[in-house]
Chain A
């Protein structure tokens, strides 16, 4: 127990020191610094724009009001922002490998995962979080919900579960990328699929996609199912109301799978940078 606490303290110190150094590195190029923050905003705007076009151009979505659908989008955006803040560098692994930096992480006396996560300061998280928080604020003011402790707890859990799921899926891809060069496009694929399909009530999709996003790639657990619980719409979700409470369990299972993929990837990784 004491040992674990000491290890965690050490990891936190490494993260703090490398994070500060990373921030200084990003500040070296002022134009790039500003654009990186702006990029967080613009990325989220593209996602919101797609959702807005869908809301305004097409009829109400499967019995969900615009504000309710916006809550699904907002929780997904916030979960994504939390993921970006802590773990976005997992998606940079292909570049770290190509530059040869990843190989140096393997021989240093610190966890590889920690070094990857702190390899670059996640500036775009600032923009991401700003848009996500604004979007959440707007839709909560539209919804006028009664904020009980249970509801607040399930909203926080929804965001944490969504971020954990994004991390778990990114780790699965990272494990694959470490094993086999050329598979890195799956990172952007994951981003696109979750970004484009995680914003809507699952009911709008045909049966095949409903099943795929529930029992295959867990896109529906990133925001839809937990938000249905927050809104008290559990009865209307596909495959039964129990799934609205299952997001933490699904995230845990996928995190275990992601952890296994990461460890396996690390064991089988062979140098291919220059």
Chain B
């Protein structure tokens, strides 16, 4: 099983590596967005020291890490391997005929995707630290807690994507759902605007949702907006969402397998 899992996890990174233009474009997109946003936040902070508990260094750190995390994830998909495309062309049938279950195949494939996007995040983080865009973590404990939170965040984001995938078994076309998810994800994860800048009641609500658990929580821990004393509760929320989403996704896969319609021929 380990060798098989290793082979499945390699699909996404290998597909990305095959296309030089794709990696160069990802690098260009990530680098320019990080630099543009850092300039924007610095310009906005020109006449003020602290906004919603964030100073300019924390805001630039937050923005850089959020851009890295979300852009690198959005860049994946060179293989075109998604439930949506497989359902549209009928080749989803193969997912259910292989010796590995569809659910397990998607999971190991997802591990590869997560590792690939993480490589961009960590590469960008190292570069950001070197260029002074990202402030170093306040302590070793903060770094460790942020790393754990980042990993839990990847799991949450994986399950959220799987849930969108599974919807395709019922709706066939998921364009609308996917775009709506992207909107909700951008808005409620804190990728677009740090959640701390939202009105109090909305910030309180959104920080408890799974979208925030994917992006905002690890970055807020790293930037010091969530103090170390509150880290345990933040990690517990993330772990809780992992468990809830895992159960929902498992139920979704089971039902999806029972109502599979193979298009094409």
Q: Give me the interface of A with B, judged by CB distance under 8 Å.
A: 29, 31-36, 38-39, 42-43, 45-46, 49-50, 53-54, 57-59, 98-99, 124, 180-186, 188-189, 192-193, 196-197, 204-206, 208-209, 274
Q: Give me the interface of B with A, judged by CB distance under 8 Å.
A: 19-23, 25-26, 28-29, 32-33, 36-37, 39-40, 42-45, 47-48, 51-52, 74-75, 78, 80, 85, 88-89, 171-177, 179-180, 183-184, 186-187, 192-193, 197-198
Question: Which A residues touch B88, using CB under 8 A?
Answer: 99
With A32-B171, A32-B177, A46-B187 given, is the CB distance from A197 to B40 under 8 Å?
yes
CB distance from B122 to the nearest CB of A (A): 20
Inter-subunit contact A42/B176 (CB<8 Å): no
Question: Which B residues touch A205, using CB under 8 A?
Answer: 39-40, 43
CB distance from B212 to the nearest CB of A (A): 15
With A196-B36, A205-B39 given, is the CB distance from A50 to B193 under 8 Å?
yes
Inter-subunit contact B25/A206 (CB<8 Å): no
CB distance from B60 to the nearest CB of A (A): 13
The residue of chain A having its C-beta at the shortest distance from the C-beta of B91 within the complex is A274
Inter-subunit contact A204/B44 (CB<8 Å): yes
Question: Which A residues touch B176, using CB under 8 A?
Answer: 29, 31-36, 38-39
Inter-subunit contact A38/B180 (CB<8 Å): yes
Can you identify 7 A-B contacts, CB atoms within 8 angstroms?
A35-B179, A35-B180, A38-B180, A58-B44, A59-B47, A99-B89, A193-B33
Complex CA gap A99/B198 in Å reads 41
| Chain B facing A: main interface SS | helix
Question: Which A residues touch B75, using CB under 8 A?
Answer: 185
| Chain A facing B: main interface SS | helix
Question: Which B residues touch A53, using CB under 8 A?
Answer: 193, 197-198
Inter-subunit contact B32/A189 (CB<8 Å): yes
Inter-subunit contact A58/B183 (CB<8 Å): no
Inter-subunit contact A185/B25 (CB<8 Å): yes
Inter-subunit contact A183/B25 (CB<8 Å): yes
Inter-subunit contact A188/B74 (CB<8 Å): yes
Inter-subunit contact A206/B42 (CB<8 Å): yes
CB distance from B168 to the nearest CB of A (A): 11
Which of A32, A49, A188 is within 8 Å of B192, CB to CB?
A49
Question: Which A residues touch B85, using CB under 8 A?
Answer: 98
Given contacts A39-B176, A182-B20, 11 further A-B contacts (CB under 8 A): A29-B172, A31-B176, A32-B173, A38-B176, A43-B183, A58-B45, A58-B48, A182-B21, A183-B21, A188-B29, A193-B33
Inter-subunit contact A208/B39 (CB<8 Å): yes
For the complex of A and B, 3 pairs with smallest distance between CB atoms: A35-B176, A182-B22, A182-B21
Question: Which B residues touch A185, using CB under 8 A?
Answer: 22, 25-26, 29, 74-75
Which of B29, B89, B180 is within 8 Å of A39, CB to CB?
B180
Question: Which B residues touch A99, using CB under 8 A?
Answer: 88-89
Inter-subunit contact A189/B29 (CB<8 Å): yes
Complex CA gap A117/B242 in Å reads 41
Question: Which A residues touch B51, using CB under 8 A?
Answer: 57-58
Inter-subunit contact B183/A46 (CB<8 Å): yes
Which of A29, A186, A206, A209 is within 8 Å of B29, CB to CB?
A186
Inter-subunit contact B44/A54 (CB<8 Å): yes
